[in-house]
Structure 1
Amino acid sequence: MKQLFLLSKISKKAVVVTFCFLLFPSTLLSAKATNSQLSEEKISQGDVTLLAQATPATNTTDKKDEANAKDDKKLISHILQFNRSPIVGNSLRLRGQYAESRLGFTRPRNWKLDQGTIQAEIRFQHSPALYANRSNLTVLVNGRSVGSTPLNRKQSQIGKLLVNIPPSFLQDYNQITMVAQQNDSQECTDPTSPDLWTEILPDSKITFKYQNQPTSTLLNFNRYPYPIFDELGLENNKIVFIQPSQVEQSWLTSAARFQAALGRFADFRPLETGMATNMAAVKDSDRVIILGTPTEQPTLSQLKDLPLKISGDRILDNSQNPIPEDRGVLILTQTKKDGGAPILIVTGNSAKGVAKAAQFLSQADLRKMGTGQVVFVDKVQETTTPAARQWSRYLPEANSFLLSDLKINNGNKPFKDVTVSGSGAPPIEIDFRALPDDRFVRGSSMNLIYSYGPQINPRTSAVQVFLDGNFIGGARLTDDQGETRRTLKVDLPANLVTPSSKLQVFFRMNAKEAFNKERCIQPPGEQLTGRVHADTSFNLKRETSVQLPNLELMRFGYPFVAPQDLSATTVVMPQNPSENDILTLLEVSERLGRLSQSDGMKLEVHTRESLPESIRKKNNLVAIGTLSKFPIPEALKSQGFNLSQAFNRSSAAGAVQTPQDQQGMIKQVVSPWNSQRVVLALAASTDSGLEKVRQVLNQDPWFSQLKEDTVLISSNEPNPKPYDPDAYQLAFFKDAQSSSRVEDTTPLSKASRLIQDNWLLLPIGVVGLSLVLYGIVQQYLKRLSGGSGSK
């Protein structure tokens, strides 16, 4: 759901707070666009409003004013609210004599922005101790000032800074910066004073008013995934599949692979997926996917102005000959000649051709070859399946590696030396994600290589290392002349390293000279620097060992995304899947795509009748459907809590009937056909319950809560809002009687783990072993005494 990017530039004089927006569907406004070129200040009881324009006013004619007035009626409004970011929370506080915070936002490709159509409203409060003549709040966009106001409110009254942002200032990726210069005295200010603060309130916002540009000039596969998916979009990308006349297994597999690849494009950005029976139900804001042969998709013959002709159930090439059945066809078009919704057609004259076209879009190396409005796919080379433990976003498979080998933080690029500066320098953060099946043992360590500059105070300066907020090591910075490439060995606690771990290296640097208020001498802080070197090394002690079933590991995709091309996962559908079944398939495919990274896509979909015995035994299975036609009923017959049949529930404690069961269930069990594999059941008694399962898979805040082995999903509202954090209630169960451990360890390690897992039995074992040894000794003594008597 996080729709925007992080910015990590470090201020020389103060701590820079960096965060990202969370974007939700836009709020439409009816207010008329502001085109004022004036710069004025209005002061009222509770507000300070500043209308500022960074560029000088220009003379306009009456005709231009009339044209602008007409354009204003066509403008669409979008509000980007600060409170969508969890880091902002209730407020964003700027502390210190000089402080700034930055927010990143994008400019969608199809937005046409005119002068006076972008406005930022910054609402703030500040400390009553600030001295107004020497304190101010300034707003910058991409480093260029767009407005400023003095911090002169009494008794912390709320102020409002309203600024116009010229469209010429914007790029694809942008940042808005709020800078607070704060002083509490006319002569001398202590930079460490707690009275130096300004809060940016969460109801601050940026309002855009725009016109949609036609996408006809952008219908080119060299831009793919645009216009089907816009990574610069501020609104949710809405994907609509046209439902085929008949749902075959081949169509399900191609649709699932396409959606998983789209999930990889989306990454953290929100994506809404729906289905329509025909083009009449499609809106101009949708992105339409028509996947299947002309026989499966009669809608193809109804589309006008296609670059290829469709005759009956055959696609013809430019020579009016039928395209070979093993050739895939990709077409970009739109619902209207002068605009409308973009359409992606993934087709061919056979299921094999459709599969080739869908696979082309899922393989990065092939996809780069596309250009123009039409692409014919003749050959798709099968990609090599990566190793099961080769995950690009996690720690390397090797136990010894360098920090430069981690490509998690830097967009799949090697980690480079990182330098921070200032007395309040922010931490250097390193994603340290263990593989989900890693089990760490004692002895793992980090050999931190760091440097720091001169002019520090050795008595109060240090470097510290934290793992997920837990202090794990540190050292004093002992030389006021600075040191280069110092080494610090830090032990990595085995019980703290998880698949979501983060290392933080703090440089706590204080200047050698202290603040002198009498002479107003402030310690220089910008020259204080600390650096972490990329050849910092790690030596891990770990083994492969994990207990299944465990839905908590599902947050990271395990075991379904091992290997990362999804070749070990198969989705099983009812024989005649409903629209809700298909949408759930697309949702789980998208989620698995978001959680994996590879060159290819080998996810397969089968119905119960077409599922081969070899795949049933070899792969992890995902079963989807309501209980009346659930494709793998064996998954719901395991011990523990189960929906035994429609509107019936059972567990070890008893059985009940629930005639009004509207809940959904996510359950993971050990596969009945392979103890090293699992079956994930996405089930419900009704379609409304299965819809709740789909929403949990779609929304990060709910999906990240998964744990135990069974989840029941309910809602007290008939039509809950998908973005409401309280819309659904999750109940967790851990009562699976059958479990399995997937491991690759030594016998000694197995014995050690067995003792650790069952330490309460250790005293009983010691007593039992002592009794056995005592009996053996007694028998031996009796034999000795018997032998002596006979002599």
Structure 2
Amino acid sequence: RFRHSPALYATRSNLTVLINGVSVGSIPLNRQEGEIGNVLFKIPIDQLRNYNQITIAALQNNSPTCTQDPYDPSLWTEILPDSKIVFDFEPQPVSLDFNRYPYPIFDDLSLEPNQITYLLPKEINDNWLTSTARFQASLGRLADYRPLKTSLVKSVKEASGTGINRFSGNRLVIIGTPEQQPELKSLKLPLPVANNQIIDAKEKALPPDVGVLMLTSTPGNQAAVLVATGNGPEGVAKAVQFLVQSQDRQIGTSQVILVEKLDEVPTPAPRDWPDYLPLEPTFKVSDLKTPYNQPIEDITVRGSDSPPITINFRALPDDKFEGDNYMNLIYSYSPQINPKTSVVEVKLDGIALIGKKLTSIDGGTRESLRIALPNDKITPYSKIQVDFRLDARERRSCSKVTDQQLWGTLHSDTNFQLQRTSVAKVPDLGLLKTGYPFAAPQDLSNTVIVLPKDPSTSVLMTLLKFTNRLGRLSKAESIQLSVYTKDSLPTEERSDHHLVGIGTQEKFPFPEILSSSGLKLKDFLTRQRSDSQIKTWSDHDGVIKEIISPWNKERVLLALIAQTEKGLDKVQYLLNQDPLFYQIKGDTVLISANSENPNIYEQNSYNMEFFQEKRKRQLEKPELTQQIFNFIIRSWLMLAPAIIAATMISYGVIQFYLQKMARDRN
């Protein structure tokens, strides 16, 4: 569905649709003013791949001589948002084999959101919580930008496939020993269960430290099932860890995997974040990655109205830029440009930093341009854009397109020189948008999540939403976060790790958060802020609050809390919806709904209030050498007097010893 400018000449204007570079149809732009065009293009099956690119190209002319200005505002065509793609297909049987994992448990080509359902164990303990949280975080990494629905059930019968095929509905995940998960007996498993133990082909019970992974389906083949089990908690943990360690799961095959031994993946450095800027002070564009995790190579754009070349230039969340920072742009461009109107521009987050005329009509090869980068504008969300604005020496006409011979190239040895230190001030929920500090290091090994003794379904769902979000915000070869209930939290982990508490006010695992400054949730639906205190008839709002850990000033405590279970639902919505999550700031967020049954996919259905009560402090001190360097940079005006004073003192000391030596000789 489309509409276009009424000024277009229908005989010289058309719309073409291409699939993966192959044209599937073209129509003239001959609609009347205000008329909506509706046309159906058939897509050849042999042109479809796993990942497809649709290109909609418009040739627009509003002059009988076809020599009009290409930037004339009357040249426009709009593709309406209610345009759609219709697939007519028949699902095919799939084999249950780990050589295609994460499929069919997670399908990155699914036409609808993946649905993951966890079977609750007979009794919830720390081992199940940790394994489930790690697996959910790994799904978050696999999902990346894709939506993921999660639910909890108490029986296999509750998991049903209602999607476009039997493996596009719920995927059931069962984690735990046969004793914890008695429903395993109701499934047709490759390895049988007898006397609450997994039996091998020789009818012998497997050792308790051997992990077992199996793929099967629910009765009636309604849903795919992943079973991560073992005859002991060590085996269950090993089975799940095999799936969350990316290098290990690549060697999986067949319907059953016995995990006997698993290499421990080293913890990455706290500031080793793959999707962010390299730590070296000097690096090249080729050291950065594309969205497909490949090194950036030379990039060429063509035409007079080509899109800018965009590069993710994401600073680490604790980066502070000081001194002089530069980009040394290496570029080339084609001949036949108009040197009066052709330029190359460099922009940071859409703000132009510099522009330079392209002066040679014979083209330029590996020219360079040095650009100063503003210290206070580089953020964890920054993008650098190199925009070649190319104008041909001759205007285009109907019979000949005269701008496609124009091109500009960004070379991969374009380099950057950055001076930065590591400084992060907390509490600051704005840092949580990058996962910091819980994602430092990226395997989440410095994060401990604590739940009430008997966590409710709402608490468990909040845990799954939070770990899914952490998975999306981190990238490493493994996942090492831990989950405990309040009574089982080790003292050393409470002191050494960043903490996340989840629960309602009545059973919150860290009562210290309730006595901290700022917004407080107290007994009997009471709220307090500073000296003001109120009681409410009902309180279904959710709260996210961050403070400095009471047990370690170099760590933080994050609270996902509410007065009621419905309030925790609001916290889940915030964690699950990007438009809501990426608004958070301050040290406290209060989220409420505008109606009794809000639309979870409509951000206007919710209200958020932000508070910043506590004074921020630096989370970690730089090394001594870095502190000295920082002091010198900040105190450069004192440097010359200090050198003179040091020289005079040295001169006095030397003169004193020379005179003393002369007296001793006499």
TM-score by length of 1: 0.77
**Is contact 1:627–1:646 with CA below 8 Å preserved after alignment?**
no
**Is contact 2:171–2:223 with CA below 8 Å preserved after alignment?**
yes
**Cα deviation, residue 221, structure 1:** 0.2
- Could you say if the C-alpha distance between residues 163 and 452 of structure 1 is closer, same or farther in structure 2, counting changes exceeding 3 Å? closer
Q: Which runs of 5+ in 1 are unaligned?
A: 1-122, 756-791
Q: Give the aligned partner of residue 347 of structure 2.
A: 466
Q: Give the aligned partner of residue 226 of structure 1.
A: 103
**Cα deviation, residue 250, structure 1:** 0.6
Q: Note the 1:103-122 alignment, pairs <5 A.
A: none
CA–CA separation in structure 2 for the residues paired with 1:381 and 1:697? 32
Q: Give the aligned partner of residue 289 of structure 1.
A: 173
1:329 aligned residue (196, 199, 212):
212
Q: Give the aligned partner of residue 642 of structure 2.
A: none
Q: Give the aligned partner of residue 230 of structure 2.
A: 348
Q: Which moved more, 1:715-724 or 1:627-636?
A: 715-724
| 1:726 to 2:604 alignment | yes
Q: Give the aligned partner of residue 689 of structure 1.
A: 567
| 1:717 to 2:601 alignment | no
| 1:207 to 2:207 alignment | no
SS at structure 1 position matched to 2:570: helix
| 1:508 to 2:389 alignment | yes
**Cα deviation, residue 646, structure 1:** 5.0
- Could you say if the C-alpha distance between residues 529 and 657 of structure 1 is closer, same or farther in structure 2, counting changes exceeding 3 Å? same
- Could you say if the C-alpha distance between residues 453 and 150 of structure 1 is closer, same or farther in structure 2, counting changes exceeding 3 Å? closer
Q: Give the aligned partner of residue 366 of structure 1.
A: 248
**Is contact 2:67–2:395 with CA below 8 Å preserved after alignment?**
no
Q: Give the aligned partner of residue 315 of structure 1.
A: 198
Q: Amino acid of the residue matched to residue 593 of structure 1?
A: G
- Could you say if the C-alpha distance between residues 743 and 750 of structure 1 is closer, same or farther in structure 2, counting changes exceeding 3 Å? farther
| 1:571 to 2:449 alignment | yes
Q: Give the aligned partner of residue 275 of structure 1.
A: 152
CA–CA separation in structure 2 for the residues paired with 1:560 and 1:497? 22
CA–CA separation in structure 2 for the residues paired with 1:622 and 1:183? 60
**Cα deviation, residue 312, structure 1:** 2.4
Q: Give the aligned partner of residue 136 of structure 2.
A: 259
**Cα deviation, residue 143, structure 1:** 3.2
- Could you say if the C-alpha distance between residues 461 and 133 of structure 1 is closer, same or farther in structure 2, counting changes exceeding 3 Å? closer
- Aligned residues with identical type, % of pairs: 49
Q: Which moved more, 1:555-564 or 1:455-464?
A: 455-464
SS at structure 2 position matched to 1:346: strand
- Could you say if the C-alpha distance between residues 741 and 358 of structure 1 is closer, same or farther in structure 2, counting changes exceeding 3 Å? closer
Q: Amino acid of the residue matched to residue 494 of structure 1?
A: N
Q: Any idea what the Cα deviations from partners look like across 1:90-127, whole Å, max 9, x if unmatched? A: xxxxxxxxxxxxxxxxxxxxxxxxxxxxxxxxx11111
**Is contact 1:315–1:348 with CA below 8 Å preserved after alignment?**
yes
Q: Which runs of 5+ in 2 are unaligned?
A: 162-168, 637-666
**Is contact 1:585–1:624 with CA below 8 Å preserved after alignment?**
yes
CA–CA separation in structure 1 for the residues paired with 2:446 and 2:533? 35
**Cα deviation, residue 583, structure 1:** 1.2
CA–CA separation in structure 2 for the residues paired with 1:542 and 1:586? 35
Q: Give the aligned partner of residue 613 of structure 1.
A: 491
Q: Give the aligned partner of residue 481 of structure 1.
A: 362
| 1:652 to 2:536 alignment | no
SS at structure 2 position matched to 1:163: coil
**Cα deviation, residue 186, structure 1:** 4.2
Q: Amino acid of the residue matched to residue 273 of structure 1?
A: T
- Could you say if the C-alpha distance between residues 343 and 754 of structure 1 is closer, same or farther in structure 2, counting changes exceeding 3 Å? farther
CA–CA separation in structure 1 for the residues paired with 2:577 and 2:632? 41
2:2 aligned residue (114, 124, 141):
124
1:197 aligned residue (70, 76, 79):
76
Q: Any idea what the Cα deviations from partners look like across 1:229-279, whole Å, max 9, x if unmatched? A: 000011000000011110011110000111111111111111010001101
**Is contact 1:474–1:488 with CA below 8 Å preserved after alignment?**
no
Q: Give the aligned partner of residue 109 of structure 1.
A: none
Q: Any idea what the Cα deviations from partners look like across 1:492-534, whole Å, max 9, x if unmatched? A: 100100000000011111122356x8xx897821121111111
SS at structure 2 position matched to 1:656: strand
**Cα deviation, residue 410, structure 1:** 4.7
**Is contact 1:441–1:542 with CA below 8 Å preserved after alignment?**
yes
2:122 aligned residue (242, 245, 263):
245
**Is contact 2:425–2:616 with CA below 8 Å preserved after alignment?**
no
CA–CA separation in structure 2 for the residues paired with 1:468 and 1:371? 45
Q: Amino acid of the residue matched to residue 362 of structure 1?
A: V
**Cα deviation, residue 642, structure 1:** 1.6
SS at structure 2 position matched to 1:675: coil
CA–CA separation in structure 2 for the residues paired with 1:140 and 1:401? 38
**Is contact 1:425–1:507 with CA below 8 Å preserved after alignment?**
yes
**Cα deviation, residue 459, structure 1:** 1.7
Q: Give the aligned partner of residue 236 of structure 1.
A: 113
CA–CA separation in structure 2 for the residues paired with 1:128 and 1:318? 75
CA–CA separation in structure 2 for the residues paired with 1:753 and 1:696? 40
Q: Give the aligned partner of residue 185 of structure 2.
A: 301
CA–CA separation in structure 2 for the residues paired with 1:750 and 1:591? 38
Q: Amino acid of the residue matched to residue 264 of structure 1?
A: R
**Cα deviation, residue 747, structure 1:** 4.9
**Is contact 1:512–1:523 with CA below 8 Å preserved after alignment?**
no
Q: Give the aligned partner of residue 670 of structure 1.
A: 548
Greater fraction of residues in strand: 1
Q: Give the aligned partner of residue 530 of structure 1.
A: 408
**Cα deviation, residue 147, structure 1:** 3.2
**Is contact 1:356–1:377 with CA below 8 Å preserved after alignment?**
yes
Q: Any idea what the Cα deviations from partners look like across 1:449-479, whole Å, max 9, x if unmatched? A: 1111211122211111100111112221121
Q: Amino acid of the residue matched to residue 366 of structure 1?
A: D
Q: Amino acid of the residue matched to residue 157 of structure 2?
A: A
Q: Give the aligned partner of residue 433 of structure 1.
A: 314
Q: Give the aligned partner of residue 649 of structure 2.
A: none
**Is contact 1:641–1:736 with CA below 8 Å preserved after alignment?**
no
TM-score by length of 2: 0.91
CA–CA separation in structure 1 for the residues paired with 2:69 and 2:17? 22
CA–CA separation in structure 2 for the residues paired with 1:604 and 1:436? 23
**Cα deviation, residue 580, structure 1:** 1.2
Q: Give the aligned partner of residue 270 of structure 2.
A: 388
SS at structure 1 position matched to 2:424: strand
**Cα deviation, residue 149, structure 1:** 2.5
CA–CA separation in structure 2 for the residues paired with 1:646 and 1:501? 45
Q: Amino acid of the residue matched to residue 84 of structure 2?
A: K
SS at structure 1 position matched to 2:38: strand
Name the count of aligned residue pairs.
625
SS at structure 2 position matched to 1:174: coil
Q: Give the aligned partner of residue 627 of structure 2.
A: 746
Q: Amino acid of the residue matched to residue 184 of structure 2?
A: L
2:422 aligned residue (541, 544, 568):
544
Q: Amino acid of the residue matched to residue 174 of structure 2?
A: I
Q: Give the aligned partner of residue 770 of structure 1.
A: none
- Could you say if the C-alpha distance between residues 522 and 316 of structure 1 is closer, same or farther in structure 2, counting changes exceeding 3 Å? closer
- Could you say if the C-alpha distance between residues 143 and 530 of structure 1 is closer, same or farther in structure 2, counting changes exceeding 3 Å? closer
- Could you say if the C-alpha distance between residues 320 and 521 of structure 1 is closer, same or farther in structure 2, counting changes exceeding 3 Å? closer
CA–CA separation in structure 1 for the residues paired with 2:615 and 2:525? 23
CA–CA separation in structure 2 for the residues paired with 1:348 and 1:445? 55
Q: Any idea what the Cα deviations from partners look like across 1:174-202, whole Å, max 9, x if unmatched? A: 12222222222444342513322211111
CA–CA separation in structure 1 for the residues paired with 2:492 and 2:409? 54
- Could you say if the C-alpha distance between residues 318 and 138 of structure 1 is closer, same or farther in structure 2, counting changes exceeding 3 Å? same
Q: Amino acid of the residue matched to residue 239 of structure 2?
A: A
Q: Amino acid of the residue matched to residue 214 of structure 2?
A: I
SS at structure 2 position matched to 1:164: coil
| 1:625 to 2:496 alignment | no
**Is contact 1:239–1:274 with CA below 8 Å preserved after alignment?**
yes
- Could you say if the C-alpha distance between residues 281 and 360 of structure 1 is closer, same or farther in structure 2, counting changes exceeding 3 Å? same
CA–CA separation in structure 2 for the residues paired with 1:600 and 1:139? 43
**Is contact 1:639–1:737 with CA below 8 Å preserved after alignment?**
no
**Cα deviation, residue 412, structure 1:** 2.2
CA–CA separation in structure 1 for the residues paired with 2:274 and 2:73? 44
- Could you say if the C-alpha distance between residues 410 and 661 of structure 1 is closer, same or farther in structure 2, counting changes exceeding 3 Å? closer
